[in-house]
Amino acid sequence: MVGAGWVGLCTAACFAELGHEVVAREIVPEKVEALARGEVPMHEPGLPELVVRNADRITFTTSMSELLERTRLLFCCVDTPPTYSGDADLSRVEAVVDELEQSAEHAIVMKSTVPVGTGRSIQRRRDGLGYVSNPEFLKEGTAVEDFLHPDRVVVGAGEASRAFGDRVAALYEPLGAPTVRTDVASAEMIKLASNAFLATKISFINEIANVCEELGADVNEVAAGIGLDARIGPRFLRAGVGWGGSCFGKDVLSLKQMAANTGYHFQLLTAVTEVNELQKRRTISKLQKHLGPLVGRTVALLGIAFKPDTDDIRDATSLVLAGRLQGEGAHVRAYDPVAAERARAVLVNAELCDSALEALDGADAAVLVTEWPEFGELDWAGEVKARMANPLVVDGRNFLDREALRAAGFTYEGIGR
Ligand code: UDX
């Protein structure tokens, strides 16, 4: 693994679990030392256990020459953040390629999400370098599970790198998953198109939800009904306060920009992003409907992470909501079981609380942003009701028991219901 960040570390630990020998190279020495001690610097369920259990099969190092000496397949797991233009910043990928000496024995296996055509241009630049595209489809919070039970494995390789492609595919063989063998550009596109489609699916159901609110239908019922159509499928149809995270926004933008660079205007993806931005802000008008102007009101945000089981706050709806609430003059209290520490640097004007109850104390409204299980287990009818100044709940994930809350005297607003 070149890079022991989230992707590199999950991949390393899971390959080791399958019995493979892994060497993971990370440039930050402190990180290498911590990993060697079995300390995993991110919240990912099951990952620390795998790293510890397979410690004898994973070597962490800062040295590229150790990697080149001991391994033949170099999985590139560095990040490719968007630049201001919406193109992907490939400088870290290029730095990895530049570090490799000319060798017919080694292949670079691209795990990082890169624009379509990246493989082709790297191969043009480094003639003779083996190159395989092997995109990852891991979800934060369920990455270990996703890796060990994939829907499919994608391996893209050109004619000259076919043998390397065979070796990459063989690594995944114990998983028994369908394997798509294809060319490099198509593999690159499979990754981007998958994420763009999933983001589209969520934006679609969110728009259906918004129309349901106006027309008196219930989006949960609608999602269940359309999801049974095998052509649609039930997953990724949960309406909510918008999708976030480090991948969807970046990949939708990257695909859109890539198309634009060829002169093609990808209209659908423009709408998918815009719908999501509006969705993140809709909570404000739901609060105003019940509270009037929000100046001087206290709003408790339950959940900061972009989804449960992660401490990742990149592109999280909570950040947009906090900013908008403050813009309306409200006082924001926020609580998250694991993401609060990361949020401290970003939510500078919000009050970060140590518990949900502390955030709810004296609040004029509660907004459930992230469906952490513990929010369902709160004593809403008793302790929460007694503590809040006003019993108003906006359930941004349709997660709480609406009937129970209403019976307890709460004003309940869900999404699309
Ligand atoms: C995503 C892809 O799913 C994964 O395959 C890829 O490798 C990386 O990007 P991730 O960003 O970790 O994974 O999380 P995911 O579970 O896909 O959720 C993304 C966002 O969509 C979250 O904010 C989540 O709350 C939201 N979401 C998801 C919905 O609003 N509704 C849904 O039905 C599903």
DSSP H helices, 216-344, are 219-227, 248-261, 267-291, 317-327, 340-344
The predicted-structure confidence for 171-186, as pLDDT tens digits, reads as follows 999 999 999 999 999 9
Q: Is ligand 1 within 6 A of the CB of residue 136?
A: yes
Q: Is ligand 1 within 6 A of the CB of residue 287?
A: no
Residue 281's pLDDT is 96
Q: Which residues of 331-343 are buried (b: 16+ CB within 10 A; e: fewer)?
A: bbbbbbbbbbebb
Mutation choice for ligand 1 from 243, 251, 304, CB with most ligand atoms inside 8 A: 243
Q: Are residues 336 and 263 in the same domain?
A: no
For residue 236, which atom of ligand 1 is closest to its CA?
A: 33
Q: Are residues 134 and 257 in the same domain?
A: no
DSSP class of residue 290 equals H
Q: Within a domain: residue 187? A: no
Q: Within a domain: residue 188? A: no
Q: Which of these is catalytic: 14, 76, 212, 247?
A: 247
CA 97 to chain centre: 26
Q: Are residues 216 and 170 in the same domain?
A: no
- Average pLDDT on 288-296 reads 98
- Domain CATH code at residue 105: 3.40.50.720
Q: Where are the beta strands (DSSP E) in 138-178?
A: 153-157
The predicted-structure confidence for 329-351, as pLDDT tens digits, reads as follows 999 999 999 999 899 999 989 99
Per the structure, how many domains does the chain have? 3
Q: Is ligand 1 within 6 A of the CB of residue 236?
A: yes
**Nearest C-alpha neighbor of 172 from the set 184, 154, 191:** 154
Pick the residue with more confidence: 102 or 137? 137
Q: Within a domain: residue 288? A: yes
CB within 8 Å of 183: residues ≥ 6 apart = 156, 157, 158
The predicted-structure confidence for 109-126, as pLDDT tens digits, reads as follows 999 999 999 999 999 988
pTM: 0.95
Residue 218's pLDDT is 98
How would you write 226-237 as a 3-class SS string?
Answer: HHCCCCCCCCCC
Q: Are residues 319 and 258 in the same domain?
A: no
Q: Are residues 307 and 160 in the same domain?
A: no
Q: Is the pLDDT of residue 6 over 90?
A: yes
Rounded to the nearest whole angstrom, what is the distance from the C-alpha of residue 125 to the centroid of ligand 1?
Answer: 35
Rounded to the nearest whole angstrom, what is the distance from the C-alpha of residue 236 to the centroid of ligand 1?
Answer: 8
Name the residue range of residue 29's domain: 6-182
Q: Give Rg (Cα) of the chain.
A: 23
Residue 240's pLDDT is 98
The predicted-structure confidence for 376-405, as pLDDT tens digits, reads as follows 999 999 999 999 999 999 999 999 999 999
Q: Is the pLDDT of residue 102 over 90?
A: no
Q: Within a domain: residue 1? A: no
Q: Are residues 114 and 39 in the same domain?
A: yes
Which tokens sit at 115? 């624009």
Question: Which residue's CA is the closest to the ligand 1 atom numbered 10?
Answer: 139
Task: Find the range with the poorest average confidence among 98-107, 223-232, 286-295.
Answer: 98-107
Rounded to the nearest whole angstrom, what is the distance from the C-alpha of residue 199 to the centroid of ligand 1?
Answer: 8
Bridge partner list, 299: 332, 365
Identity at 304, one-letter amino acid code: I
Domain boundary among 182, 212, 228: 182
> From its phi and psi, is residue 398 left (phi > 0), alpha (psi between -120 and 50) or beta?
left
When pLDDT is cut at 50, 70 and 90, the band that residue 99 belongs to is confident
Q: Which residues of 245-267 are buried (b: 16+ CB within 10 A; e: fewer)?
A: bbbbbbbbbbbbbbeeeeeeebe
For residue 199, which atom of ligand 1 is closest to its CA?
A: 21
Residue 82's pLDDT is 87
Residue 19's pLDDT is 97
Rounded to the nearest whole angstrom, what is the distance from the C-alpha of residue 407 to the centroid of ligand 1?
Answer: 32
Question: Which residue's CA is the closest to the ligand 1 atom numbered 21?
Answer: 243
Q: Are residues 69 and 18 in the same domain?
A: yes
Residue 104's pLDDT is 81
The proportion of the chain whose per-residue pLDDT surpasses 90, expressed as a percent, equals 93
Distances (CA, A) of 168 to 109, 153, 161: 8, 10, 11
Domain boundary among 147, 182, 217: 182
As a whole number, the mean pLDDT across the chain is 96
Pick the residue with more confidence: 58 or 101? 58
Q: Are residues 136 and 238 in the same domain?
A: no
The predicted-structure confidence for 262-275, as pLDDT tens digits, reads as follows 999 999 999 999 99
Q: Is the pLDDT of residue 101 over 80?
A: no
Q: How far apart are CA 258 and CA 269, in angstroms?
A: 12
Rounded to the nearest whole angstrom, what is the distance from the C-alpha of residue 140 to the centroid of ligand 1?
Answer: 8
Mutation choice for ligand 1 from 191, 236, 255, CB with most ligand atoms inside 8 A: 236
Rounded to the nearest whole angstrom, what is the distance from the C-alpha of residue 243 to the centroid of ligand 1?
Answer: 7
For residue 143, which atom of ligand 1 is closest to its CA?
A: 12
Q: Is ligand 1 within 6 A of the CB of residue 140?
A: yes
Q: Is ligand 1 within 6 A of the CB of residue 410?
A: no
The predicted-structure confidence for 17-37, as pLDDT tens digits, reads as follows 999 999 999 999 999 999 999
Domain boundary among 227, 254, 271: 271
Q: Are residues 118 and 221 in the same domain?
A: no
For residue 241, which atom of ligand 1 is closest to its CA?
A: 30
Q: Is the pLDDT of residue 103 over 80?
A: no
CB within 8 Å of 69: residues ≥ 6 apart = none
Q: Within a domain: residue 146? A: yes
Q: Are residues 307 and 263 in the same domain?
A: no
CB within 8 Å of 97: residues ≥ 6 apart = 108, 122, 125, 126, 129
Q: Is ligand 1 within 6 A of the CB of residue 307?
A: yes
Residue 212 DSSP SS3: helix
- Average pLDDT on 225-254 reads 96
Q: Is the pLDDT of residue 227 over 80?
A: yes
**Nearest C-alpha neighbor of 396 from the set 327, 307, 270, 292:** 307
Residue 126's pLDDT is 87
Q: Within a domain: residue 264? A: yes
Q: Are residues 363 and 236 in the same domain?
A: no
Q: How far apart are CA 37 and CA 29, in angstroms?
A: 13
When pLDDT is cut at 50, 70 and 90, the band that residue 260 belongs to is very high
- Domain CATH code at residue 225: 1.10.1040.10
Q: Is the pLDDT of residue 408 over 80?
A: yes
Question: Which residue's CA is the closest to the ligand 1 atom numbered 6?
Answer: 137
Can you say whether the dihedral through the CA atoms of 185, 188, 190, 196 is positive or negative? negative
Q: Within a domain: residue 168? A: yes
Q: Are residues 83 and 100 in the same domain?
A: yes
Q: Is ligand 1 within 6 A of the CB of residue 248?
A: yes
When pLDDT is cut at 50, 70 and 90, the band that residue 147 belongs to is very high
The predicted-structure confidence for 45-66, as pLDDT tens digits, reads as follows 999 999 999 999 999 999 999 9
Residue 370's pLDDT is 98
Question: Which residue's CA is the closest to the ligand 1 atom numbered 2?
Answer: 139
The predicted-structure confidence for 339-383, as pLDDT tens digits, reads as follows 998 999 999 899 999 999 999 999 999 999 999 999 999 999 999
Q: Is ligand 1 within 6 A of the CB of residue 198?
A: yes
Rounded to the nearest whole angstrom, what is the distance from the C-alpha of residue 116 to the centroid of ligand 1?
Answer: 22
Residue 87's pLDDT is 85
Is 247 part of the annotated catalytic residue set?
A: yes
Q: How far apart are CA 218 and CA 215, in angstroms?
A: 9
CB within 8 Å of 271: residues ≥ 6 apart = 203
